[in-house]
Structure 1
Amino acid sequence: MIKVENVHKSFGDEKILKGINTEFDKGKTNLIIGQSGSGKTVFLKCLLGLFKPEQGRIYYEDKAIQDMDDEEQRQLREKIGMLFQGGALFDSMNIEENVMFPLRMFTNRKKSDHLDRVNAVLKRVKLENVNKKFPAEISGGMQKRVAIARAIVNEPRFLFCDEPNSGLDPKTATIIDNLIQEITHENNITTIVVTHDMNSVMEIGEKVVFLKEGLLVWQGTNQEIFKTDHEDVTNFVYSSDLFKKIREVQNKEA
């Protein structure tokens, strides 16, 4: 569980986050959504400890990042998996080396143990026998699955995903969404996904946090988001092409 209390973040005179309060539950896919400029990326970087809020506290389970010493913060980083927008694989490394990278960085296991773990997570994302291929030799969807394997290779307790469906076709995007949710449930991970994709909200939004201009203006489930009468939320939801079509069908049936 990650708990956020009254988080404020500014850059100069520009206030980006204006008092965020929420909780992200363990074993669930928690989504952060909102229009461009709403503060999603800054909020994500605050959660990761990359930005320090001027006010407020962020708790990982029972301890605030602000109260952790350097060693405790290092230990926390070992418990975090990160799926970057676009995958961010190393072009000069083969798949095996890409996935093994966090193990080499954060553990002292033997190389044979590293390889066993790499093979286990590649199997979990349905990518066996690709170890020696390079990122350029596999499809975009496969690259994203490699990136997921790398994100979970250290058995994280917290998983952050930044626009995981960026650049993917709808079918592949759904596969990636479902894979993230399955891994979250299987390992009881606290997963936070930053996205603008309403398909992702519909598929895996077990908790959805909606930001607007640095404020948290709504939160609920993917079922509740389609029932709310909050104007900002409904405008966002039904601005996507998919939901414009759904609304058109609903209006015709009515």
Structure 2
Amino acid sequence: MIKVENLHKSFGETKVLKGISTTFEQGKTNLIIGQSGSGKTVFLKNLIGLFEPNEGNIFYDQQKYGDLSTSNRTELRKKIGMVFQGGALFDSMTVEENVMFPLKMFTKKSNAEMLHRVHEVLERVNLNEANQKYPAEISGGMQKRVSIARAIVNYPKFLFCDEPNSGLDPRTATVIDKLIQEITKENNITTVINTHDMNSVFEIGEKIIYLQDGILAWEGTKDEIHHSNNKDLSDFVYSSNLFRKVRQAYQKGL
């Protein structure tokens, strides 16, 4: 579990995060949504330690991040997996080498042990025949699956995904969503996903927080969105005719 208390972040005179408090639940897919400029990317970067908040606290399983020593932060980092928006794979490395990278960085496993684990996670994401290929030789959807395999190779307790469906067609995006959700359940991970994809919201949004102008304006489940009285949230989520029809059908009990 990750708990956030009264988080503030400013850049100069510009206040980006304005007192956010929430909890991200273990074993669930927790989604952060909001319009461009709402603060969701800055919020995610605070959660993973790329930014230091000006005020407030972040707790990882009751450990206050701000109180951790450098060595303890490094230990916590070993428990965190990250799926970057563009995949962030190393072009000069094979799929196998990309997935092995965190093991080389954070563990003292033998090469044989690392290879065994790499093959395990590649099989889990249905890429067990792509080991020796380079990122340029595989599709965008396959690259995202490699990124997921790399993120989970070191048995993370916390998984962060930044726009994991960016650049994917709807069918492939659904596959990626389901894969992330399945892995979250199987390993009881606290998963936090930063997304603008409303398909993801309604497919896997077990807990959703909506940021607006740096404030947590709403939180709840994908089903509770349909009954929300927050007009800004509704305008954002149901901006397309398709999702407006989904809401109407849901409210009619169809």
TM-score > 0.5, shorter chain as reference? yes
Structure 1 residue runs without a partner (length 5+): none
Does 2:207 correspond to 1:207?
yes
Q: Quote the residue 1:164 is aligned against.
A: 164
Deviation, 1:241, is 5.2
The amino acid across from 1:30 in the alignment is N
Deviation, 1:50, is 1.0
| TM value normalised by structure 1 | 0.96
Indicate the SS of the match to 2:222: coil
Deviation, 1:238, is 0.7
Q: Quote the residue 1:79 is aligned against.
A: 79
The amino acid across from 2:212 in the alignment is K
Q: Quote the residue 2:150 is aligned against.
A: 150
The amino acid across from 2:134 in the alignment is F
CA RMSD of aligned residues (A): 1.8
| 1:30-109 pair list within 5 angstroms | 30-109=30-109
Deviation, 1:81, is 0.1
| TM value normalised by structure 2 | 0.96
Equivalent-residue separation in structure 2 for 1:218 and 1:185 (angstroms): 25
Equivalent-residue separation in structure 1 for 2:111 and 2:46 (angstroms): 34
Query: Does structure 2 retain, via aligned residues, the 8 Å contact 1:38–1:211?
Result: yes
CA displacement, residues 70-115 of structure 1 (integer Å, 9 cap, x when unaligned)? 1110000000000000211111101000000000011000000000
The amino acid across from 1:117 in the alignment is R
Query: Does structure 2 retain, via aligned residues, the 8 Å contact 1:198–1:240?
Result: no
Equivalent-residue separation in structure 2 for 1:205 and 1:248 (angstroms): 19
Deviation, 1:246, is 3.8
Equivalent-residue separation in structure 1 for 2:148 and 2:242 (angstroms): 27
Equivalent-residue separation in structure 1 for 2:68 and 2:177 (angstroms): 32
Question: CA 1:207–1:53 in structure 2 vs 1: closer, same or farther (change >3 Å)?
Answer: same
Question: CA 1:120–1:230 in structure 2 vs 1: closer, same or farther (change >3 Å)?
Answer: same
The amino acid across from 2:136 in the alignment is A
Indicate the SS of the match to 2:210: strand
| 1:185-196 pair list within 5 angstroms | 185-196=185-196
Q: Quote the residue 1:227 is aligned against.
A: 227
The amino acid across from 1:10 in the alignment is S
CA displacement, residues 156-191 of structure 1 (integer Å, 9 cap, x when unaligned)? 000000000000000000000000000000000000
Equivalent-residue separation in structure 2 for 1:28 and 1:34 (angstroms): 19
User: Where does structure 1 differ by over 2 angstroms across 4 or more consecutive aligned residues?
Assistant: 244-251
The amino acid across from 1:184 in the alignment is T
Query: Does structure 2 retain, via aligned residues, the 8 Å contact 1:201–1:222?
Result: yes
Structure 2 residue runs without a partner (length 5+): none
The amino acid across from 1:222 in the alignment is K
Q: What number of residue pairs does the alignment pair up?
A: 254
Indicate the SS of the match to 2:72: helix
Question: CA 1:28–1:248 in structure 2 vs 1: closer, same or farther (change >3 Å)?
Answer: closer
The amino acid across from 1:11 in the alignment is F
Indicate the SS of the match to 1:223: helix
Equivalent-residue separation in structure 2 for 1:139 and 1:242 (angstroms): 28
Query: Does structure 1 retain, via aligned residues, the 8 Å contact 2:32–2:211?
Result: yes
Equivalent-residue separation in structure 2 for 1:208 and 1:94 (angstroms): 35
